[in-house]
């Protein structure tokens, strides 16, 4: 898994994908729920980076199911960030905002300040892009609904 994260940080997304898939296969084989949820979330993030929304949603839903079933609060919260990122990718800013706020609340309950800061950054970015989108729509003579 460390190789996958390293490749992802270097922008070598195809290599990262290969190693995440291999690690996921092993995690499922040994029935390690926490690691499986983690790897599925990492794959979802990778799919979001690829712009592959359907694939991201599939693995994200699987990760959420595992996190819910096995009561993994960190991954429940982290997956809300990814749901927000996926909504953002699809220009559904309202849904993205809802997901980010939910993630913030879940991380707040866990007293995870670093993760709260990540969500706060996502909300600022969302605010910027949604404002730019509103301005572009208004230039075209449309008003956002």
Output the six-digit token pair for 29: 């084989």
Write down the pLDDT at residue 1. 61
Burial of 13 (0-12, 13-18, 19+ CB in 10 A): middle
Using one digit for the tens of pLDDT, what is the confidence trace for 34-88?
Answer: 999 999 999 999 999 999 999 999 999 999 999 999 999 999 999 999 999 999 9
Give residue for tokens 């997304």: 13
Domains within the chain, CATH numbers bracketed = 2-139 (1.25.40.10)
Q: What DSSP line would sit under 36-73, residue for residue?
A: HHHHHHHHHHHHHHHT-HHHHHHHHHHHHHHHHHTT-H
Upper half-sphere CA count for residue 55 (Cβ side, 13 Å): 12
Cβ(13)–Cβ(46) below 8 Å: yes
Using one digit for the tens of pLDDT, what is the confidence trace for 68-80?
Answer: 999 999 999 999 9
């Amino acid at each position: 898994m460390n190789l996958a994260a390293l490749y992802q940080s270097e922008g070598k997304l195809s290599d990262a994908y290969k190693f995440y898939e291999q690690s996921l296969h092993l995690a499922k084989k040994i029935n390690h729920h926490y690691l499986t949820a983690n790897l599925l979330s990492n794959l979802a993030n990778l799919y979001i980076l690829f712009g592959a929304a359907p694939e991201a949603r599939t693995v994200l839903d699987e990760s959420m199911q595992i996190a819910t079933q096995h009561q993994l609060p960190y991954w429940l919260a982290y997956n809300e960030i990814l749901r927000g990122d996926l909504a953002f990718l699809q220009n559904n800013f309202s849904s993205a905002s809802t997901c980010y706020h939910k993630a913030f609340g879940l991380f707040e309950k866990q007293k995870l300040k670093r993760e709260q800061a990540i969500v706060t950054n996502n909300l600022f970015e969302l605010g910027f892009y949604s404002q730019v989108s509103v301005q572009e729509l208004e230039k075209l003579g449309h008003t956002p609904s």
